[in-house]
Structure 1
Amino acid sequence: MQDIRAIILNRSDRKFWYIRYFVTKADGSISKYEESTGVKKAEKTLAYMQSKFLPAWLARRIEDSKRTMVKSKEFNYFANIFLKNYEVWEDYQNIEYRTNRILAEFGKKDIRTITKLDIKQYLGPLTNVKTGKSLDKSTKNKYLRVFHGIFDVAVDAGLIDRNITFDIKLHERKNRDLEEIRPFSKEEVNLLMIRAQDTQYGSLLHNYLGIAFNEGMSPAEILGLQVGDIDLQRRTIKIRRNVTKSKVKGTKTAYRKRIIPIFTGAMLHIERLVAEARRKHSLWLFSKEDGNNLEDIKDIRGTRQIIKDGKSIKQNTKWYKLLLDCGVEYRDIKNCRHTFAVLALESNAFTPQQIANILGHSDLKMLFEHYAKWLKDKAIDADTSINLYESLINKDYKQVTV
């Protein structure tokens, strides 16, 4: 801190004297604060507070600031303050996890010595702890935002002049991992849906796939559905929460909170689930026998085991067994959503904006970046009889022969 100025306030509706003080930071910015002195107005006069109390308070505040500055140079000090500020946030658990990963590398370092290169070299090779796969740009940016917040605390404390982390830009990977988006063919979907009726794959998988393949919802969104979200008369679904890893929370973004139509392919499955929920007296479309909500997609899919090298995958899931029994190549269950998106684009039954809205995408760019590669070479199937300018040619132009 560069400078602290303060005045005594007489709050007419309060019995204590208050202090309003202004902190001028190293970058010239000024922050205003206010706090109670704990001294009753009935016990001390304004003159006393101005001439005696205020100088002593200022001296203590400046001294405390100096002592704090000496002790609070380590990265972990500012990280703890950052976390405390986020305790009430809905996604605190994720922020805490990312912060703790960062602290393992930077915790004991003097924050003033950490460079942009240090942070970029940390983020560049960052991988998923469970799979060993490199994190995508979006996830790495979430880690970068943690650095933003921690360095902001150090700026507020006056230890550093500016937040260098806002100068860091991450580059997009050129090729998206094809394991992430690998839609099923129509033939594969039909085969899976027929075979999934067998209860050896669990009592919920068939109806789950009926929704996932036909509505384009994510696993967490499907598990978050309640009976009150379904309007069978209007044939609509309200998507407003996620369920994953034992947590029930709101949708990831404002765009993901949406109302979508119930398509014919999903109607029977939804009707069955609504009837079953009412039998259990449950709020949830997908629930345990006692009516409580499922905690994660693994309650339907089964538990997935991944060998440490991140290359080989060992499965003991109902989903894996279904794929194996159908002779369908393994892919993650989230590809049901991707299958809907690709087939919807190919069908020409929707505009791209309608599909983006159904999927909860913020814009068309996101839609095409995800799925364009699965539509390549489809132009060869276009109807060659189409003439976009036929009416103009017939009405306004004469045929020219050479």
Structure 2
Amino acid sequence: MQTTLGNFKHAKIRGKYIQVHACINNVRYRFSTKLRVTARNLLYVENNYMQLIEKHKQEVEQNNNIGLDIATYGREILEAHCEQRKENTYIRYLNVFKKYIVSRIGYLEVAEIKPKNAREIFANFNDITATNKSIVLNLLKLIFTHAVIDGLVSANPFLHLKCSTQRVIKEDRNKPFSMQEMKQILSKCDNALLQLYLFIAFFTGMRPNEILALNVKDIDLSLGNIYVNKSVSHNKLCTTKTNAARYVEITATLKQYLTSVLKDKSGYIFLDSKKGFMNEKRIAYNFKKLLKKLDIQNNTLYSTRHTFASLMLQNGEDMHWVSKQLGHKDLSTTLQYYVKYIKQDKERGQEFNRAFEDLEKQEVA
């Protein structure tokens, strides 16, 4: 029998596996069958979802009896829910789950967590960064939302918790370089591949993982643009951060440099000795060595992006053009981070004032 994927009421595709989705007697069921996605398995789940629900209820009851812990249950939920996300996002969530949740509260039984002690449990993560703490809370909310569906708990104990907006002030490691520092970095870099990376970074504002994914054919020197449609994550090609492609204009200085450097190159530009994609950490390591040698402030690779935006705006470039180069979805994102760098014209508004004063003089006359 032939069938198409995804046209069933109770058998739903989630990542690599099939889930049962059903509502019986006002009770909602949503769980992974651990069956791989094939037409035959989808048909089997659709025709036998009631039996699968009964089996699932028995397994939940058994798990309740033996005391299902957060580490075991959470990993199952995370794998089922996050597989359809971008690979780098999934890996980030999995790393936070293992490093913080499993190591600190993974031994706690799911059924024992109640709203009254959720705040005390979440206090175990007060010492980590605001970003990781936010991910921890989102993961706990996700895990216990499924725990409610599976009948392990009656309510999500973390549902109404929020991360504090107060952040610890720390050294800005993405501070933009000055024009003089940028010129010194580019002129004193004796690592050819790093110099190529830095020229592209400083003169386009591209994200580090977008630069590492560049192929020579993405760079059109005759039209004066770079086609940005992919990035590198964990040594594999993936989509850009915004899942959108864009064209980045090549400025005159960069065009002159690339014309000379890329003359005899083909294929992917930033490859290691084994012909795999270059590791961002390796580029960052060499970059830090260069900064130390030049006695320039310690910074991350991302600071090159901020340098591009800040210097362009300080020198009067159009905000919309800068935003387009950076690949921001809308202008508000650019304004949020870079409005302080916009060149201030002291004569701004003077023409309006003069026109108003001239009108007053005419009326008096």
What is the 5 A alignment of 1:96-245? 96-101=94-99, 102-114=101-113, 115-118=117-120, 120-126=122-128, 135-137=129-131, 139-174=132-167, 177-196=170-189, 199=190, 202-245=191-234
Counterpart residue number, 2:259: 271
C-alpha separation between the residues in 2 aligned to 1:205 and 1:171? 39
Q: Which structure has the greater CA radius of gyration?
A: 1
**Counterpart of 1:295 in structure 2: which amino acid?**
M
Distance 1:263-1:343 versus aligned 2 partners, 3 A rule: same
Q: Give the partner amino acid of 2:124.
A: Y
Indicate conservation of the 8 Å contact 1:209/1:336, yes or no.
yes
Q: Does the C-alpha gap of structure 1 residues 215 and 167 become closer, same or farther in structure 2, counting only changes over 3 Å?
A: same
Q: Which runs of 5+ in 1 are unaligned?
A: 1-10, 14-18, 40-48, 127-134, 303-317
Q: Secondary structure at the match of 2:170?
A: coil
Q: 1:159 to 1:62 in 2, by over 3 A?
A: closer
Shift of 1:88: 5.5
- Pairwise CA distance, 1:287: 2.4
Deviations 1:14-54 (A, max 9, x none): xxxxx9795548xx453489874999xxxxxxxxx9xxxx9
Deviation string 1:214-258 (CA, Å, 9 cap, x unpaired) is: 111122221111223222222222222222543432222336x43
Contact 2:235–2:276 (Cα < 8 Å) also in 1? no
| Corresponding pairs, count | 332
- What is the Cα deviation at residue 207 of structure 1? 1.5
Q: Secondary structure at the match of 2:350?
A: coil
The superposition leaves residues 321-354 of structure 1 with CA deviations (integer Å, 9 ceiling, x where unpaired) of: 4334434233223211111111122122112x33
So what's the TM-score if we normalise by structure 1? 0.69
Contact 2:71/2:107 (<8 A) preserved: yes
Distance 1:67 1:215 in 2: 58
Equivalent residue number for residue 384 of structure 1: 347
**In 2 relative to 1, CA 70–325 (structure 1 residues): closer, same or farther, beyond 3 Å?**
closer
Are the structure 2 counterparts of residues 64 and 383 from structure 1 closer, same or farther at C-alpha, using a change threshold of 3 Å?
A: closer
Answer whether contact 2:29 2:150 (CA < 8 A) is retained.
no
- Do the aligned partners of residues 342 and 249 (structure 1) sit closer, same or farther apart at CA in structure 2, a change above 3 Å counting? same
- Given that 1:221 and 1:243 are in contact with CA atoms closer than 8 Å, whether structure 2 keeps it comes out as yes
For residues 35 and 301 of structure 1, do their structure 2 counterparts lie closer, same or farther at Cα, with a shift above 3 Å needed?
Answer: closer
- Do the aligned partners of 1:78 and 1:153 also contact (CA within 8 Å) in 2? no
**Matching residue's letter, 2:110:** I
- Is residue 67–residue 110 contact of structure 2 (8 Å, CA) maintained in 1? no
Among 66, 72, 75, the residue aligned to 1:77:
72
Deviation at 1:119, TM superposition (A): 5.2
Distance 1:384 1:142, change over 3 A: same
Aligned letter for 1:109?
A: L
Say yes or no: does 1:360 pair with 2:358.
no
Instruction: Say which of 296, 308, 311 aligns to 2:279.
Output: 296
Query: Partner amino acid for 1:297?
Result: E
Deviation track 1:106-147 (CA, whole Å, cap 9, x = no partner) reads 211122443441454234321xxxxxxxx244x433333222
Q: Could you tell me whether the CA contact under 8 Å between 2:60 and 2:152 is conserved in 1?
A: no
Q: Distance between the aligned counterparts of 2:67 and 2:337, measured in 1?
A: 44
Q: Secondary structure at the match of 2:265?
A: helix
Secondary structure at 1:384's aligned position in 2?
Answer: coil
CA deviation map 1:298-319 (0-9, x unaligned)? 43343xxxxxxxxxxxxxxx43
User: Hey, which of these two has a bigger chunk of helix by percent?
Assistant: 2
Q: What is the alpha-carbon distance in structure 2 between the residues aligned to residue 57 and residue 176 of structure 1?
A: 52
Aligned-residue offset at 1:79: 0.9
Secondary structure class of the residue paired with 1:254 = coil
Q: What percentage of residue pairs aligned between the two structures are identical?
A: 22
- Counting only pairs closer than 5 Å after superposition, residues 299-318 of structure 1 correspond to structure 2 as 299-302=282-285, 318=286
| CA distance in structure 2 between the aligned counterparts of 1:262 and 1:368, rounded to whole angstroms | 23
Whole-Å separation in 1 of the counterparts to 2:219 and 2:235:
23
Q: Separation in 1 of the partners of 2:52 and 2:317?
A: 71
Paired position in structure 2 for 1:95: 93
Matched with 2:269 is: 285
- Please list every run of 5 or more consecutive structure 2 residues that lacks an aligned counterpart in the other structure: 4-8, 11-20, 32-41
Structure 1 pair 113/329, CA: closer, same or farther in 2 (3 Å)?
Answer: same
CA distance in 2, matches of 1:239, 1:12: 40
CA deviation profile, 1:183-237 (whole Å, cap 9, x unmatched): 11111111222212xx3xx221221111111111122221111223222222222
SS in structure 2 opposite 1:357? helix
Displacement after TM superposition at 1:397 (Å): 3.7
Structure 1 residue 385 displacement after superposition: 6.9
Distance apart, 1:94 and its partner CA: 2.1
CA contact (8 A) 2:203 2:251 kept: yes
- Corresponding residue SS for 2:361: coil
Structure 2 equivalent of residue 44 of structure 1 = none
In structure 2, distance between residues paired with 1:58 and 1:210: 58
